[in-house]
Amino acid sequence: MTALDLSSPVAVVGTGTMGQGIAQVALVAGHPVRLYDAVPDRAREAAAAIGARLDRLVEKGRLTAADRDAARARLRPADDLAELADCALVVEAVLERLDVKQELFRALEDVVSPDCLLATNTSSLSVTAIGGALSHPGRFVGLHFFNPAPLLPLVEVVSGFATDVTSATRAYETARAWGKTPVACADTPGFIVNRIARPFYAEAFAVYEAQAADPATIDAVLRESGGFRMGAFELTDLIGQDVNESVTHSVWQSFFQDVRFTPSLAQRRLVESGRLGRKTGRGWYDHREGAERPEPHTAEKRQPPAYVVAEGDLGPASELLAMIREAGIQVREEDEDNGSRLVLPGGGQLVLTDGQTSVEFRDVVYFDLALDYRKATRIALSASQDTGARTVSEATGLFQALGKDVSLIGDVPGMIVARTVARIIDLAHDAVAKGVATEEDVDTAMRLGVNYPLGPFEWSRRLGRTWACSVLDDLHQRDPSGRYAPSLALYRHSFATEKREGAS
């Protein structure tokens, strides 16, 4: 099954920001495009807005004047659904209400030809449920574009329970012909991106609710240590707190209130207060004119230790040993079968976060995971109230000697980056095991859909295939609610790996 022929008209129903973006994508690809909106004159206004964006593309040299003129000639507002009768594809981008979408598609079935592909751009509703209202649901598919549709490459092609393989394939190939990067997925709450991305927000909010760190510090650690483009607090302010919380709540409810997807009470209070982010001027941050952006907590300068004793293998943080030597600090290595740590001159220990807490041990400072310890510009440290002041000082000075800003946070298991990445890896394994998507499509979706520095499976391979399961096991012991319990898929993956490595 191939992509739609460029001579085939494409219709977009719903002319808000997303509808206009999808229409522009189809139009620039070469299709005749019809715009329809139930609100009178809205389609004409949308056509004018799309024309203005085409003008800007010409000004930027991204589109020729001739191609713009040809595209404008192919764009036509429609006053009635009947004008969509000859379309080969109709994409819906209307209000996120099941009854509204079902009513629209029932009406479209009476208008379009039997071989017309019908698609929804829903981000939160069940594709199966929307298609359930149709007489011929086999031709119904989800085409989930990301905003802004003309710029972001990812499209999730979602097969409902009744979607024909030929329909899903045609939608997939059409999205690819439009210059997008499609990924195929089953109809599951949140699809790929909105399902697997939940821990990025949830764990940041959980650290905040535990009063372990403020939003500015958590965001800085996620960016400067974790390698994420934006922190969770600034990103939700950009998205809109109401929008982000709505998606989280929808996924949680759709999974029958699975504790792994529990919404944040702190975010709920933010929404209730009307602080929705940039669009209202205030969210987690104050975006009003003249407001100062809060700075992350950064420790004062401390003296580095003269030496460290490396016991055992530091695993994902093994690159630190070379960096410490390069900084002129002596490293004494000792074989140690009972754990991995750096022992500081004062006798305290510096340990890569593993899901345990500092208060459980004598004089231990934990340090957080980094995407790349050489490139990281900030490292988070956590200690309990019982940790010695000298140990905290020596640990701080060590990372400062490596050129890092240091943020001291509260004694929370898994810290910030590690618990976030471990949970993302777990949800990715769970999704693949349940047939939602392939590993390759999951990695592609998370890199392109939310700009993660690595896909979950890429991260898993880099960190070691047992790392996430081990961290989550320790987290689960300290919070037995089920939120951190590793999925059966991750357990199988981890133990199979251990068995193979043991046999070798």
- State how far the alpha carbon of 404 is from the alpha carbons of 157, 220, 221, 345, 370, in Å: 42, 12, 11, 20, 12
Residue owning tokens 């089953």? 186
Amino acid at 201: Y
Single-letter code of the amino acid located at 242: D
262 neighbors 483 (Cβ within 8 angstroms): yes
Which tokens belong to 105?
């598609």
297: annotated active-site residue: no
**Concatenated DSSP letters for 271-302?**
HHTT--BGGGTBSSSB-STTPPPPPPP-PPP-
Give the active site residue among 121, 123, 124, 159.
123
Structure tokens at 401: 């000697």
How far apart (Å, rounded) are the C-alpha atoms in residues 484 and 467?
A: 14
Q: How far apart are CA 182 and CA 379, in angstroms?
A: 36
Active site residue 244: no
DSSP secondary structure letter of residue 487: P
Residue labelled with tokens 């987290």: 475
Question: Tokens standing for 306?
Answer: 């003269």
Report which residue type is found at 445: A
DSSP codes of every residue in 2-42: -PPPTTS-EEEE--SHHHHHHHHHHHHHT--EEEE-SSTTH
Q: Which of 121, 126, 194, 407 is catalytic?
A: 194
The region that residue 331 occupies, defined by phi over 0 for left and psi between -120 and 50 for alpha, beta otherwise, is beta
Sheet containing 364-367: give its strands across: 330-334, 307-311, 341-343, 349-352, 364-367, 378-382, 405-409
Of 263, 270, 259, whose CA–CA distance to 427 is shortest?
259
From the candidates 83, 109, 121, 144, which is the catalytic residue?
144
* Stated length of the chain: 504
Q: Which residue in the block uniquely carries the two structure tokens 């650690």?
A: 221
182 bridge partner residues: 155
- Rounded Cα gap, residues 122 and 424, in angstroms: 23
Catalytic residue, chosen from 83, 156, 203, 234, is: 156
Q: Would you state the structure tokens that stand for residue 390, as one six-digit string?
A: 């000298």
Active site residue 144: yes
Active site residue 476: no
Helix axes 65-74, 17-29, angle to 10 degrees: 110
| Residues designated as active site | 123, 144, 156, 194
